[in-house]
Amino acid sequence: MDNCSDQTSNSNHLSFHCSSGELLWGQLHCICEGYFNGRLNRYDTPQSIPELEGGGTIKQRYFNYRCRAAKGDWQAKSYQTRDTLEAEPFKSGYIIYNIHHNPVEILRRCATVGFSLYQTHSDRSIVYVNRYDWSHHYDYDFEHKIDKLLGIDRNKPDHDFFWDSSFHGRIMIIDSDSAMNIIKQWKFNTTELEQPQEKVFIDTRNESNNRVGLHLRTPKPDYELAWLVFSSDQPDSELIAIVYDGSYTSLDGQIILDEEDVVSWHEYELKEQELARRNADLLKQMQSAGRYRHN
């Protein structure tokens, strides 16, 4: 019996059940890190956004890759983006959400937040995940423990190449109670993550073969962004959705879900015009302040 089930890109069968009330998220090393953070009772919440790390030329935060989450059924849908009026829409990411919440509303809210490196957006129940906060750009904690857990030998480059390729270009979300079972499946059958674009993770510990998580990829991964959406802005709030941007669009452009506009091209143009106006006003203020100091 296969441990994972392949699905088509727009299928409603990209679903799983969260029974523990906790989910791990990210790429392979993030999932492992979330597993270890569970032992330390560490969670990502709207009130626990990590500080930006200082130094160097990049901005990076260290998340816990583990959230308290809404129990019940979850589902994933791919969305499309059109970044110029002449271009064809392309598959750019996924929204993974608890089915009791509206994916269109959530996607619109995340598009309003967009790129928010300093977490200055007004919707405080959304936490932005930047490109250096995960994926292969992330210098992850627990490196020795993760290497030991996965059986990574860094003296064997060919072996490590597979694992490194599993550290980017995808998002995984897994019920925490099944994390170790799924990690063991990867460890003893590395081909599970090599080819398919979409998989449902199956917990093989019992005959019911429960669906416990998802593995999703975009066709042309570059930098990767995400938005964690919680039920409120309070410390005890639950994760209700993750929006994954695997094409580095920052949710700009026309956004289409289930062949309907989430953000229309006209709305996007108005948003860009307002942003340009604000930037122009800010530039004038800076120039005026500079002239005042000079005088």
Kindly tell me if the per-residue pLDDT of 79 is higher than 80: yes
Q: What is the pLDDT of residues 56-71, one digit of tens each?
A: 778 889 999 999 999 9
Kindly tell me if the per-residue pLDDT of 113 is higher than 80: yes
> What value does the mean pLDDT take over residues 37-52?
93
Q: What pLDDT, on the 0 to 100 scale, is given for residue 159?
A: 57
Indicate if 269 and 152 belong to the same structural domain.
no
Q: How sure is the predictor about 75, in pLDDT bands with cuts at 50, 70 and 90? A: very high
Give the 3-state secondary structure of residue 179. Answer: helix
Indicate if 256 and 274 belong to the same structural domain.
no
Residue pair 61/201 in contact by the 8 Å Cβ criterion? no
More confident residue, 56 or 49: 49
Indicate if 44 and 177 belong to the same structural domain.
yes
The distance between the two most distant Cα atoms of the chain, rounded to a whole number of Å, is: 79
Name beta bridge partners: 78: 94
Q: Which domain holds residue 287?
A: 264-294
> What value does the mean pLDDT take over residues 203-231?
85
Q: What is the pLDDT of residues 163-187, one digit of tens each?
A: 667 788 899 999 999 999 888 887 7
What is the chain's percent helix, strand, coil content, to nearest 5?
30, 25, 40
Q: What pLDDT, on the 0 to 100 scale, is given for residue 285?
A: 80
> What value does the mean pLDDT take over residues 139-158?
75
* Cα–Cα distance, 185 to 212 (Å, whole number): 13
Indicate if 269 and 218 belong to the same structural domain.
no
Kindly tell me if the per-residue pLDDT of 80 is higher than 90: yes
Residue pair 72/100 in contact by the 8 Å Cβ criterion? yes
> What percent of the chain is predicted at pLDDT more than 90?
53
Out of 69-73, 85-89, 199-203, 269-273, the most confident range is: 69-73
Look at residue 209 and tell me if it is in a domain: yes
Q: Based on the structure, what is the number of domains in the chain?
A: 2
Q: What pLDDT, on the 0 to 100 scale, is given for residue 147?
A: 81
Indicate if 86 and 185 belong to the same structural domain.
yes
Q: What is the pLDDT of residues 96-111, one digit of tens each?
A: 999 999 999 999 999 9
Per-residue tokens: 48: 């626990």
Indicate if 204 and 280 belong to the same structural domain.
no
Angle formed at CA 91 by CA 87 and CA 94, multiple of 5 degrees: 140
End-to-end CA distance of the chain: 78
As to burial, measured by CB atoms within 10 angstroms (0-12 exposed, 13-18 middle, 19+ buried), residue 293 is exposed
DSSP secondary structure, 14-80, as one string: -EEEE-SSEEEEESHHHHHHHHHHHHTT----TT-PPPPPPSSSS------SEEEB--EEEEEEEEE
Look at residue 51 and tell me if it is in a domain: yes
Q: How sure is the predictor about 149, in pLDDT bands with cuts at 50, 70 and 90? A: confident
Q: How many residues does the chain have?
A: 295
Look at residue 122 and tell me if it is in a domain: yes
Q: Which residue has the tokens 């994954």?
A: 244
DSSP secondary structure, 88-150, as one string: PPEEEEEEEEETTS-HHHHHHHHHHH-S-TT---S-TTEEEE-GGGSGGG---S-HHHHHHHH
Look at residue 2 and tell me if it is in a domain: no
Look at residue 7 and tell me if it is in a domain: no
Q: How sure is the predictor about 2, in pLDDT bands with cuts at 50, 70 and 90? A: very low
Q: What pLDDT, on the 0 to 100 scale, is given for residue 256?
A: 96
Look at residue 9 and tell me if it is in a domain: no
> What value does the mean pLDDT take over residues 113-124?
95
Look at residue 196 and tell me if it is in a domain: yes
Indicate if 268 and 196 belong to the same structural domain.
no
Indicate if 50 and 189 belong to the same structural domain.
yes
Out of 102-111, 188-197, 258-267, the most confident range is: 102-111
Indicate if 27 and 126 belong to the same structural domain.
yes
Indicate if 203 and 241 belong to the same structural domain.
yes
Q: What are phi and psi of 288, to 5 degrees?
A: -65, -45
Kindly tell me if the per-residue pLDDT of 162 is higher than 80: no
Residue pair 35/179 in contact by the 8 Å Cβ criterion? yes
Q: Residues near 205 by Cβ (< 8 Å), separated by ≥ 6?
A: 178, 181
How many C-beta atoms surround the C-beta of residue 78 within 10 A? 22
Indicate if 167 and 205 belong to the same structural domain.
yes
Q: Residues near 139 by Cβ (< 8 Å), separated by ≥ 6?
A: 60
More confident residue, 91 or 145: 91
Indicate if 276 and 141 belong to the same structural domain.
no
Look at residue 73 and tell me if it is in a domain: yes
* Cα–Cα distance, 142 to 147 (Å, whole number): 8
Kindly tell me if the per-residue pLDDT of 196 is higher than 70: no
Residue pair 7/14 in contact by the 8 Å Cβ criterion? yes
